[in-house]
C-alpha cells in the first residue's frame, strides 16, 4: 500500500477524509485534496475498487471547491449504499496539460451499520488461564481418562519437553489444576481488577493443552464437572467477572469420541466405520488412514465445515455454542479463526447472540483482521456478524518493538492502523496482550531480546533463567509495556503468572505452573495498581484516544471521556524526557519511567 504526498492528502486526517477510519454501510465519505495553488491542478478524481462486489470499479469526480490560503481544494463524496466490504481507493490530480499526480491505493473498511458489539469485553481487564497450570487442590488420579496421561506429583516440577521413543512430544503430562482451584482464587483475580476470565480449552481432551478436543459436551474430568463449571460462573458473576471459553472447532483429537482413532470411546467413530454418525465430519482422502489434519499433525484431524450435522452440532439450538452459554459462559474465543470459513463464524456469532444477546465472539487472528486473506479468501472477521473483536497481535508487536529499542512512531502506527481499519466496536473490543500461551513469556522476551532458538539447545532453554541484570531490565520494560497496554483502547489481557514474574521460552516453558508463594511482589503490586486504574477510570474504559507525543523513545497519549482526561506517558530511553500535556503543563519523565496522570485545566496528579 503506497502513501500519499503529505502536502495534498492524508488518509488518517479528517481534514482530508471524513469520517476517520472505517465507515458504516449506508453512509458517505467526504474527500478533500489540498494541493499547492502553484501546482495548477484542474481537477481531482477518486477511483474505487469495490472488492466484495466483484472488483467493480467506479470513479468519483473531485471538482475544485475553493481556496484555503495558498492551497486549492478539490472535494467530493463517495456514497457507500448498502455495500459491506473493503474498498481500495486511489486519488488522482490532473493538470490542464494532461500531467497527473497519483496516490494510493488506500483501504476503506465498510462494515454493516446494523452491527454493534457488547461493550463489556473491551472495557475491563481479561485474565488468561491455562487451566492445568493455574491452581490445584489435590493431586488427581488419571486412571481411566482419555489419552494415557500421567500427573506430576510436585507442583514446581518442569513440564515434560523431551520427545518420547517415537520422537513425538505428546503433552500427556498433567499437573492437575482444576476449576475448583480457579474458584478458590477468584478473590485474587478480583484484586487484580479482572473482569473477564478467558480459559484455554476446558473440555475433555487427551493432551494437557486440550486444543484437540475429545468431547465438547464434557468438562475434562481432571478439571471437574459441568456442575463445577456452572458454580464457578455463578461465583464469578457475583464478583463482577465474566467467563470466556476457548472454542476449538477447526479440528478435534484423533482419540476423540468423534474420530475415536484408538477405540477409547464405546461408540463408532469416523476412523472406525463409515457408518459412524461422524463419518462426514472429517475429510478423508483414503479412509481410514489418509485424512486432512491441522498442519499435517495426524493427532488433530480437521473437521469438515460443510457437514450439515457437524455445523448443527456446533451452532444448533442445543449445540455446543448455546449449551455452554446456557451453562454460564459469556462468550467464546475462536481458536484459529482464519481456518473457519466465514459462514461458520457467522453461524457461531448468530447462535451466541440468540442464546445470550450480550455474548461476545473473539477471533484468534494474528494479523490485521480487516484485510486478512486465508486460503485465498478475504475474511469478513470485522465487517459485522462475525467477530466482535480479535486477538490484537499487531498492537502487541508495536509495544514490544518499542520497548526493545524501536521508535515510538512505530507504536503509534501499529495502533492507528487498527483504529483506521476496524469499526470502532472492533477496535475497542480487541484482546490486547503482551503474552499468551502461544508466545514466549513476556519477561523472558524483554530480558533476552528474542527466542534464542538459533544459538541454544532446548535443554538450555528449559533450564535457563534471566540473570539479575537481565531480570531487572525486563521488569522495568514490562512495567512500561503494561502501562501502555492498560491505557490503550481494547481489553488489556494478562496471561496467568506474568503479574507474578514468570519466565519461560517457547511451549511448554511458557506454560509452567503458577508460582504461588514465590511471586514477584514488585510486579504484582504494579499490576494490581494498573487493574484498579482500569476498573475505576472511565477514560481508560471508554475514552477517545489522542496522541500527544510518539517518537524516539517516548510514547504518550490521552484518553478523554466526558470532560475527564487521563494521560499515559512512557519514556523507554536512558535520558530525561518531557511531554506537553493538554492543559499546557509539561510532564517530566525520568529514564525508563512510565506515568499515568489525571489532567484538568489547572492540575496534574499521579494515578498510580
Catalytic site positions: 335, 364
CA 411, CA 389: separation in Å to the nearest integer?
20
Cα dihedral 23/118/393/335 (nearest 10): -120
CA 273, CA 479: separation in Å to the nearest integer?
55
Question: What are the backbone dihedrals phi and psi of residue 543, each rounded to the nearest 5 degrees, phi first?
Answer: -70, 160
**Three cell numbers, residue 158:** 518442569
Contact in structure between 391 and 436 (CB atoms under 8 Å)? yes
CA 364, CA 353: separation in Å to the nearest integer?
19
CA 404, CA 438: separation in Å to the nearest integer?
20
Helix%, strand%, coil% for the chain, nearest 5: 25, 30, 45
User: What residue has cell string 471524513?
Assistant: 18
Three-class DSSP category at 389: strand
**Three cell numbers, residue 438:** 502461544
Provide the strand spans (E) within 20-70.
23-24, 28-33, 41-50, 56-62, 64-68
CA 20, CA 219: separation in Å to the nearest integer?
45
Torsion-angle region of residue 527: left (phi > 0), alpha (psi -120 to 50) or beta?
alpha
Contact in structure between 95 and 42 (CB atoms under 8 Å)? yes
User: What residue has cell string 484408538?
Assistant: 262
Q: How far apart are the first and last CA of the chain?
A: 40
Cα dihedral 141/147/152/156 (nearest 10): -130
Residue 226 parent element (H or E) = helix 226-238
CA 92, CA 388: separation in Å to the nearest integer?
35
**In terms of DSSP bridges, do strands 564-571 and 577-580 run parallel, antiparallel, or are they unpaired?**
unpaired
CA 216, CA 197: separation in Å to the nearest integer?
19
Provide the strand spans (E) within 96-141.
100-111, 125-129
CA distances from 309 to 272, 293, 518, 606 (A): 18, 19, 49, 57
**Three cell numbers, residue 106:** 488506500
Residue 556 parent element (H or E) = strand 554-561
Spell 87-97 as b/e; 16+ CB within 10 A means b.
bbbbbbbbeee
| Cβ-based burial of 8 (10 A; exposed 0-12, middle 13-18, buried ≥19) | buried
Contact in structure between 174 and 139 (CB atoms under 8 Å)? no
Contact in structure between 329 and 322 (CB atoms under 8 Å)? no
Amino acid at each position: 500500500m503506497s502513501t500519499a504526498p503529505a502536502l495534498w492528502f492524508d488518509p488518517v486526517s479528517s481534514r482530508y477524509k471524513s469520517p476517520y477510519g472505517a465507515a458504516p454501510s449506508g453512509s458517505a465519505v467526504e474527500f478533500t485534496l489540498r494541493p499547492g495553488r502553484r501546482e495548477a491542478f484542474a481537477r481531482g478524481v477518486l477511483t474505487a475498487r469495490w472488492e466484495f462486489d466483484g472488483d467493480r470499479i467506479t470513479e468519483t469526480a473531485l471538482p475544485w471547491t475553493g481556496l484555503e490560503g495558498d492551497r486549492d481544494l478539490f472535494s467530493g463524496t463517495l456514497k457507500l449504499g448498502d455495500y459491506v466490504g473493503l474498498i481500495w481507493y486511489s486519488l488522482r490530480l490532473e493538470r490542464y496539460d494532461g500531467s497527473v499526480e497519483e496516490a494510493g491505493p488506500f483501504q476503506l473498511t465498510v462494515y454493516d451499520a446494523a452491527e454493534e458489539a457488547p461493550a463489556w469485553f473491551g472495557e475491563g481487564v481479561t485474565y488468561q488461564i491455562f487451566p492445568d497450570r493455574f491452581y490445584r487442590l489435590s493431586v488427581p488420579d488419571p486412571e481411566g481418562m482419555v489419552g494415557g496421561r500421567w500427573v506430576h506429583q510436585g507442583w514446581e516440577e518442569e513440564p515434560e519437553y523431551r520427545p518420547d521413543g517415537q520422537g513425538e512430544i505428546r503433552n500427556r503430562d498433567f499437573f492437575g489444576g482444576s476449576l475448583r482451584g480457579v474458584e478458590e482464587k477468584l478473590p485474587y483475580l478480583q484484586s487484580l481488577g479482572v473482569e473477564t476470565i478467558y480459559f484455554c480449552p476446558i473440555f475433555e481432551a487427551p493432551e494437557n493443552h486440550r486444543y484437540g478436543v475429545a468431547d465438547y459436551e464434557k468438562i475434562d474430568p481432571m478439571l471437574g464437572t459441568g456442575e463445577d463449571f456452572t458454580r464457578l460462573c455463578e461465583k464469578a458473576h457475583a464478583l463482577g467477572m465474566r467467563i470466556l471459553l476457548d472454542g476449538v472447532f477447526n479440528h478435534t483429537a484423533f482419540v476423540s469420541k468423534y474420530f475415536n482413532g484408538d477405540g477409547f470411546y464405546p461408540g463408532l467413530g469416523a476412523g472406525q466405520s463409515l457408518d459412524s454418525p461422524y463419518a462426514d465430519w472429517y475429510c478423508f482422502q483414503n479412509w481410514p488412514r489418509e485424512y486432512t489434519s491441522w498442519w499435517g499433525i495426524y493427532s488433530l484431524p480437521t473437521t469438515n465445515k460443510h457437514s450439515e450435522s457437524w455445523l448443527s452440532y456446533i451452532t444448533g439450538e442445543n449445540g455446543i455454542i448455546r449449551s455452554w452459554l446456557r451453562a454460564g459462559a459469556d462468550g467464546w474465543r475462536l481458536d484459529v479463526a482464519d481456518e473457519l470459513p466465514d459462514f461458520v463464524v457467522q453461524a457461531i456469532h448468530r447462535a451466541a447472540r440468540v442464546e445470550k444477546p450480550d455474548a461476545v465472539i473473539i477471533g484468534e487472528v494474528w494479523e490485521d483482521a480487516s484485510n486478512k486473506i486465508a486460503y485465498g479468501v478475504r475474511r469478513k472477521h470485522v465487517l459485522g456478524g462475525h467477530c466482535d473483536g480479535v486477538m490484537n497481535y499487531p498492537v502487541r508487536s508495536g509495544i514490544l518493538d518499542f520497548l526493545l529499542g524501536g521508535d515510538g512512531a512505530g507504536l503509534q502506527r501499529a495502533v492507528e492502523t487498527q483504529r483506521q481499519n476496524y469499526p470502532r466496536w472492533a477496535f475497542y473490543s480487541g484482546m490486547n496482550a503482551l503474552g499468551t500461551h502461544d508466545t514466549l513469556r513476556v519477561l523472558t522476551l524483554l530480558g533476552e531480546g528474542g527466542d534464542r532458538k538459533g544459538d541454544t539447545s532446548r535443554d538450555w532453554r528449559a533450564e535457563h533463567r534471566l540473570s539479575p541484570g537481565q531480570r531487572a531490565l525486563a521488569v522495568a520494560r514490562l512495567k512500561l509495556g503494561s502501562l501502555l497496554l492498560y491505557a490503550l483502547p481494547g481489553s488489556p489481557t494478562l496471561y496467568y503468572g506474568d503479574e507474578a514474574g514468570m519466565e519461560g521460552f517457547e511451549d511448554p516453558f511458557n506454560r509452567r505452573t503458577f508460582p504461588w508463594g514465590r511471586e514477584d511482589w514488585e510486579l504484582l503490586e504494579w499490576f494490581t495498581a494498573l487493574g484498579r486504574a482500569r476498573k475505576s477510570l472511565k477514560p481508560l474504559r471508554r475514552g477517545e484516544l489522542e496522541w500527544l507525543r510518539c517518537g524516539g523513545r517516548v510514547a504518550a497519549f490521552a484518553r478523554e471521556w466526558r470532560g475527564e482526561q487521563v494521560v499515559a506517558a512512557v519514556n523507554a530511553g536512558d535520558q530525561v524526557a518531557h511531554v506537553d500535556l493538554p492543559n499546557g503543563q509539561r510532564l517530566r519523565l525520568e529514564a525508563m519511567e512510565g506515568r499515568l496522570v489525571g489532567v484538568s485545566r489547572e492540575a496534574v496528579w499521579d494515578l498510580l
